[in-house]
Structure 1
Amino acid sequence: MSLTIKTLGRGRRVAAGSLIAVTALTLSACQNGTDSASSQSSSAAAPATSSASRAQGAPSTGGSPQSAGNAARPSSVAKPSAGTSGVPSASQANPSAMTASDRCTAENMSLRLGRTDVGAGNIRVPLVFTNKGKKACSLRGYPGVSLIQRDGSAVGTPASREGGAGGSVRLQPGQSAHAVLHTVNDGVSDIPCWKDSQIVFVYPPGSKESMTTNSGGLRVCGGTFTVTAMEAGVPS
């Protein structure tokens, strides 16, 4: 009788030990399963978080929400350099002295004939341009010159160019420059003189706007009618 009791007691101890072992394995498996799922979930979520951070302008290495917000502010965006689309270059934001905007035009000048110089059969008359504007401007090259009558009809042909092109003449407000009209006296050549003119019709160098002044009865003879390039000042 006592033997049976001992056997049963041992069997209960074995069964109890087996139950403890099974329970431990089950708990271990559950714990391992949870850890594995958590690890897989974390690794799967990491790329999405990184992509979202990059899309928002945050550093790919992560960081606090405050640092991510700072990275996404407009002030962190690099400004376009000069010369790119929509940004002017240094040469576009600052024109040179020879640009059209700096050239003396008919609008900001006055025009007159200077004192006639007669000698050795030649007649030379200064064509004087004066800067009447409020800022400095430049003239360079030859003016276009024709003689006309009061009704607008042309007298002869436009003046041809004489001498070199010269350099740029800078005129401060009130300053003058001149070109010289040249013809010859009647009788110097067998070529007949043109009719008397009443008006000198002029295009300043580089301009498409005309100016006029009284010709003082200037008459071209000998088929000679020329104009020089601009020079500074006015002949005395």
Structure 2
Amino acid sequence: MSLTTKTLGRGRRVAAGSLIAVAALGLTACKGGPDAASRPSSAAAPVTSQDTERGNGAQSAGGSAQSSAAKPQSSANGQRPSAPAKAASPGGKPTAKSPSAAQSQASAMTASDRCNAADMSLRLGRSDIGAGNIRYPLVFTNKGKKACTLRGYPGVSLIKRDGSAVGKPATREGGSGPVVRLQPGQSAHALLHTLNDGVSDTPCWDRSQLVFVYPPGSKESMTTGSDGLRVCGGRFDVTAVEAGALG
């Protein structure tokens, strides 16, 4: 083979190699584009607004789950469980502050120790007239078998035999007085007070036949003859009970 032939074959191989290299570079440029070398990798890519919204949604979902876990669970019918019931007394009612045993005992003793209408007698004593005033003792006597107590004002009205009222009930005069303890057979009294006829221009009431009385602290009534007691001057008072009998 001649030298010319060898040189020509070597030139063709070099040219072919150059063409292959140029073709490879062209393919690389088509795939990556002109900015492929300068574009940052996906690992270092910045977080987009869409990614942020997704992240917030995930956090909200997590917060809702935590809130749901913190809230009390609803019952099957959709209602929340009711609050624990208050402690109840043995009778089924909520426990309330009740009086002490000492207070209850004192109240019971006071009620049982009071003089009842059924255990007493009642009478109107002789009148005491002086300086334009008239006073009548209203006497209570313990006819029971045990001691009892009275304290305060009796309720007093005047009535006729047919039961019709005369005037108005007596008003209270003076202080409430001490506790009066009556042994069987002992008496206490309150004073009824009015004015003499002519002392005042206020007309006198009709004459009464009966005195209608509620003993102090009692809801049971008693009656006794009024001996024609007549209220004048519009004045009709009663005092609290005191120990002893007058008239």
TM-score, scaled to structure 2: 0.57
For 2:220 and 2:104, the matched residues in 1 are separated by 27
Distance in 1 of aligned mates of 2:183 and 2:168: 33
Is 1:210 aligned with 2:214? no
Match of 2:115 among 87, 104, 107: 104
> What corresponds to 1:177 in structure 2?
188
* Partner amino acid, structure 2, of 1:192: P
Please state if 1:229 is matched with 2:240: yes
Structure 1 counterpart of 2:112, one-letter code: S
Q: What are the residue-to-residue correspondences of 1:6-85 with 2, within 5 Å?
A: none
Q: Distance in 2 between matches of 1:180 and 1:104?
A: 18
CA separation of 1:223/1:103 partners in 2, compared to 1, >3 Å: closer, same or farther? same
Instruction: Give the letter aligned to residue 164 of structure 1.
Output: G
Change (3 A) 1:186 1:109: same
Structure 1 residue 213 displacement after superposition: 0.1
CA–CA separation in structure 1 for the residues paired with 2:123 and 2:197: 24
Q: 1:234 Cα shift?
A: 1.2
From 135, 150, 171, give the equivalent of 1:139. 150
Secondary structure of 2:206's counterpart equals coil
Indicate whether 1:154 and 2:165 are aligned.
Answer: yes
Contact 1:129–1:177 (8 Å) recurs in 2? yes
Aligned mate of 1:199, from 210, 215, 219: 210
Shift of 1:97: 8.6
1:189 aligns with 2:193: no
- Matched to 2:110, the amino acid is T
The TM-score, its normalising length taken from structure 1, stands at 0.60
CA deviations over 1:64-86 (Å, ceiling 9, x no partner): xxxxxxxxxxxxxxxxxxxxxxx
Larger radius of gyration: 2
1:126 aligned residue:
137
Match of 2:102, SS state, is helix
CA displacement at 1:91 relative to structure 2: 3.0
Aligned to 1:46: none
Runs (5+) with no aligned partner, structure 2: 1-99
The count of corresponding residues between Structure 1 and Structure 2 is 149
Aligned mates of 2:175, 2:207 — CA distance in 1: 29
Residues 139 and 246, structure 2, Cα contact 8 Å, conserved in 1: no
Question: What is the CA RMSD across the aligned residues, in angstroms?
Answer: 1.9
Identity of aligned residues (%): 79
1:14 matched to which residue of 2? none
Q: Secondary structure at the match of 2:188?
A: strand
Unaligned runs of 5+ in 1: 1-88
CA distance in 2, matches of 1:147, 1:138: 25
Cα offset, 1:151, TM superposition? 0.3
Counterpart Cα distance in 1 of 2:221 and 2:107: 25
Q: Using a 3 Å threshold, how does the CA distance of structure 1 residues 120 and 93 change in structure 2: closer, same or farther?
A: closer
Retained in 2: the 8 A contact 1:98–1:138?
A: no
